[in-house]
Amino acid sequence: MIDFLLLLGCAFTGLFRSRARLEAEILVLRQQINVLRRKSPKRPAFSNIDRLLLVWLSRLVPTTLEALTVVRPETVIRWHRAGFRAYWRFRSRPRGGRPKMPLDIRQLVRDMSVANPLWGAPRIHGELLKLGIEVGQTTVAKYMARGRRPPSQGWRTFLRNHADGIASMELFVVPTISFRLLYGLLILRHGRRQIISLGATAHPTAEWIARQLIEACGWDRAPRYVVRDRDSVYGQVWFPKIRSGGFAR
């Protein structure tokens, strides 16, 4: 702490010195540091005040990193990051909260849920209140035994099972050389990953999009599901048109 106060005193008195005198002192200090580095090959030990001072100076004046000789600039940056993490770890420390449920009551809740698989958290909570055990319903639900359920099908399995009945469509904008905008419609059949329609128009309407979808399928079986976005161009005419063409959704 004394070294830090002495440093502040030197910084304050340096305000009244001439620039030539300050430059000369800096050169003398640099030469002394070079001599010390040659005489002491061991790594210097830094206190927390030293680290804090170097980090503070490097953040206040970033160009001071170029003047570091006894420590690398990367080390000072690492000190700063470590101090940042320590500060927020201190701010995020647990400050109490709800008391934990005793182990015997947790085991009782688990045993009751295993012995009565049809009981939910409200029923077990009511039974515990009858026994004089004051505990919240959400806490009961937290410590109930979870039944093992068969794994649900993944997205890949769903696509493999229903790919023949899915088609997707996308409406995109293409600027022309005459500064006009053309709207392209791409329709993809997921069964064979095949593009079945690619149209363009300057004025897209719900009727035109529905007709493109119906004509793209032709005499083939219409897909059961059509994947699209929520563009307002589809309008209220969209659903009756595609349902009349054999599409479910």
Nearest 5 degrees, angle CA 241-CA 243-CA 248?
145
Which is nearest to 227 in space by CA: 213, 208, 241, 211?
213
Question: Using one digit for the tens of pLDDT, what is the confidence trace for 75-92?
Answer: 878 888 888 888 888 888
Question: Using one digit for the tens of pLDDT, what is the confidence trace for 117-172?
Answer: 888 889 999 999 998 888 888 888 988 888 766 666 777 787 778 888 888 888 88
| 37 and 59 belong to one structural domain | yes
What's the pLDDT score for residue 8? 58
Query: How much of the chain is helix, strand and coil, in % rounded to 5?
Result: 55, 10, 35
- Asked whether the beta carbons of 186 and 169 are under 8 A apart, the reply is yes
Distances (CA, A) of 130 to 64, 101, 123: 70, 17, 11
- Asked whether the beta carbons of 168 and 190 are under 8 A apart, the reply is yes
| 109 and 63 belong to one structural domain | no
Q: Give the residue with greater pLDDT, 52 vs 121.
A: 121
Whether 154 is in a domain gets the answer no
| 182 and 228 belong to one structural domain | yes
Question: Using one digit for the tens of pLDDT, what is the confidence trace for 21-50?
Answer: 667 766 666 666 666 666 666 677 777 777
What's the pLDDT score for residue 1? 57
Q: Give the residue with greater pLDDT, 34 vs 93.
A: 93
- Asked whether the beta carbons of 185 and 209 are under 8 A apart, the reply is yes
Distances (CA, A) of 167 to 74, 112, 132, 194, 216: 55, 49, 59, 10, 11
Whether 113 is in a domain gets the answer yes
Q: Which of 91, 112, 129 is the last residue of a domain?
A: 91
Q: How many domains does the chain have?
A: 3
CATH number at residue 179: 3.30.420.10
pLDDT surpassing 60 at residue 199? yes
What's the pLDDT score for residue 76? 79
Which stretch of DSSP H or E encloses residue 201?
strand 194-201
Residue 107 belongs to what domain range?
103-143
What's the pLDDT score for residue 29? 65
Question: Using one digit for the tens of pLDDT, what is the confidence trace for 94-108?
Answer: 776 667 788 898 899
d(CA 121, CA 123): 6
Question: Using one digit for the tens of pLDDT, what is the confidence trace for 55-66?
Answer: 777 777 777 676
Quote the pTM value.
Answer: 0.37
Instruction: Give the burial string for 126-144 (b: 16+ CB within 10 Å, else e).
Output: ebbeeeeeebeeebbeebb
